[in-house]
Structure 1
Amino acid sequence: MTMPSLLIAGCGDVGGRLATRLMAEGWRVYGLRRTIAALPEGVLPVAGDLERDACPTAWPGGPLDYVVYSAAASRHDQAGYRSAYVDGLRHVLAWLQAHGQRPKRLLFVSSSGVYDQREGEWIDETSPALAARYSGQLMREAEALALGAPVPASVVRLTGLYGPGREWLLRQVREGYRVTREPPLYANRIHVDDAAGLLAFLLQADRRGVALEDCYLGVDDAPAPLHEVMDWLRQRLGVQHWSDEETVRRAGSKRCSNARARALGWRPRYPSYREGYEAILAED
């Protein structure tokens, strides 16, 4: 059986981990990014800029079985988000059409920032996604573009990514940051390896003929109050001091459910922050 081909548009941290997983199973993986030297070994490089109209000269010829759009905004303002997520996706869809390519499925990597719930509510894929901030609103616009594309599509709303190189919370704990305890600020997270694993799982399920939903939440098994996470990390790191001024600031507070992905058979390798941060600290 011929192994599938995959284009990862925006092949950064999560995309690179996804590529490595699927190449180990024989998939042919193309990685599109500006700096192709940063691609994992074995990824077929496609040098290009998602935010420009011009199709990359190294665009793959022939059929593409799957596309994962996993861009990251380089400018964190309204124009930067529109360019990276809405315009970038529109460009990729146009390039596919220009080459007569019709993938079996498009996965658009989105964010739980599309939700605006703030009272610790449980959230799933059917919950209202009425983002108040421009970042979430533009992500919703990009989701609609993906789901309205002339190819089957699913959006994957990842929660807070953490892992090697994504250690901002560890840094804040080490510096003695405080966080509100009452009311508790619920935080949701997923280890970068599990984020890549979920994307791989969905692609493999689609390849087997499993009917996918149009939306999945990427989150571990255990949303937790942020103060609980920080208390555990303080104890684990032996931090005893408190900063006089610095405080962790968060606007939202919700608990995201991964029940839909688990019902499909997916299980996170790091089911809670404890296992995930233990793995990070073991590498220090």
Structure 2
Amino acid sequence: MTSPTVLIAGCGDIGSRVARRLLALNWRVHGLRRHIEQLPTGVLGVAADLHQAQCPAAWPQEPLDYLLYCVAATQHDEQGYQAAYVDGLRHVLDWLADNRQAPRRIVFVSSSSVYGQSEGEWVDETSTVAPIGFSGKLMRKAEQLALGAPVPATIVRLTGIYGPGRERLAGQVREGYQVASQPPLYGNRIHADDAAGLLTFLLEADARGVGLDECYIGVDDAPAPLHEVVDWLRTYLGVTQRSQTQSIRRTGSKRCSNARARALGWTPQYPTYREGYAALLSR
């Protein structure tokens, strides 16, 4: 059997983690990003700017089995989200068409921001999608673009990614930031390694002929109130001071379920924030 070929568009932190895993499985991996010198060893570089409509000169000419669209917006406003998620995806789909490439499946990395629930409700892939802010609305627009492509697509809604280089909450705790316990603000998290693990799992499952759903939520096993996470981090880090002026403010409160991904056979390496943050902070 010929090893599958994948193009990872937006091969940054999460994309590079996926690339390393797929290379270990003998996949042929193309990585698209502006600065290809930052790609992991073994990844075939595609230097490109997703904001530009012109197909990059280094675009792969071989058949592509999979497209993983795994972009992170560099500009966190409406214009930045439109450019990264909607326009960028539209450009890549055009480049596929221009080169007469029809992948077996597109995997588009989205966000739980497409859900508007904010009262601590449980949310799964069948829950109502009603984004409130511009980020969720544009992410939903990009999801619909992916699902409307001429090849099958799967959406993966990742939530609260943390890991090396993503330690903002721990930094706030170290500075003594406080968070209200009432009403409880439920948050959802996934370690960066588990986010990459889920994406790899889905690609590998499809390559084996396993039928995939149109959507999966990428989250650990235990959504938790933010104050509980902060208190645990405070104890773990030995932080005793409490700021009288600085507080952690979050909007929204929902609990995302990973039951669908688990039913397919995926298991997170870090089932709760405790294991994940302990591994992160012990470094």
Where 1:29 maps in the other structure, the secondary structure is strand
Matches within 5 A, 1:236-247: 236-247=236-247
- Do structure 1's residue 113 and structure 2's residue 113 form an aligned pair? yes
Please give the alpha-carbon distance, in whole angstroms, between the structure 1 residues aligned to 2:5 and 2:239: 48
Question: 1:135 Cα deviation (Å)?
Answer: 0.5
Matches within 5 A, 1:37-116: 37-116=37-116
Please give the alpha-carbon distance, in whole angstroms, between the structure 2 residues aligned to 1:238 and 1:77: 36
Q: Which residue of 1 aligns with 2:282?
A: 282
For normalisation by structure 1, the TM-score amounts to 0.99
The one-letter code of the counterpart of 1:162 is: Y
Please give the alpha-carbon distance, in whole angstroms, between the structure 2 residues aligned to 1:173 and 1:80: 29
- 1:138-174 deviation per Cα after TM superposition (whole angstroms, max 9, x unaligned): 0000000000000110000000000011000100000
The one-letter code of the counterpart of 1:270 is: Y
Gaps of 5+ in 2: none
Please give the alpha-carbon distance, in whole angstroms, between the structure 2 residues aligned to 1:163 and 1:75: 21
Gaps of 5+ in 1: none
Please give the alpha-carbon distance, in whole angstroms, between the structure 2 residues aligned to 1:151 and 1:117: 31
- 1:192-244 deviation per Cα after TM superposition (whole angstroms, max 9, x unaligned): 00000000000011011111100000000000001101101100000000111
Please give the alpha-carbon distance, in whole angstroms, between the structure 2 residues aligned to 1:101 and 1:180: 52
Q: Which residue of 2 aligns with 1:14?
A: 14
The one-letter code of the counterpart of 2:181 is: R
Q: Which residue of 2 aligns with 1:258?
A: 258
Question: 1:2 Cα deviation (Å)?
Answer: 1.0
Matches within 5 A, 1:123-272: 123-272=123-272
Please give the alpha-carbon distance, in whole angstroms, between the structure 2 residues aligned to 1:38 and 1:30: 13
Question: 1:118 Cα deviation (Å)?
Answer: 0.8
Please give the alpha-carbon distance, in whole angstroms, between the structure 1 residues aligned to 2:28 and 2:186: 39
Where 2:135 maps in the other structure, the secondary structure is helix
Please give the alpha-carbon distance, in whole angstroms, between the structure 2 residues aligned to 1:123 and 1:64: 34
Please give the alpha-carbon distance, in whole angstroms, between the structure 2 residues aligned to 1:41 and 1:170: 31
The one-letter code of the counterpart of 1:168 is: R
How many residues are paired up?
Answer: 283
Please give the alpha-carbon distance, in whole angstroms, between the structure 1 residues aligned to 2:39 and 2:230: 33
Please give the alpha-carbon distance, in whole angstroms, between the structure 2 residues aligned to 1:214 and 1:274: 30
- 1:116-146 deviation per Cα after TM superposition (whole angstroms, max 9, x unaligned): 1111000001111111100000000000000
Where 2:282 maps in the other structure, the secondary structure is helix
Where 1:172 maps in the other structure, the secondary structure is helix
For normalisation by structure 2, the TM-score amounts to 0.99
Please give the alpha-carbon distance, in whole angstroms, between the structure 1 residues aligned to 2:229 and 2:80: 31
Moved over 2 A (4+): none
Where 1:142 maps in the other structure, the secondary structure is helix
Where 1:276 maps in the other structure, the secondary structure is helix
Question: 1:38 Cα deviation (Å)?
Answer: 1.1
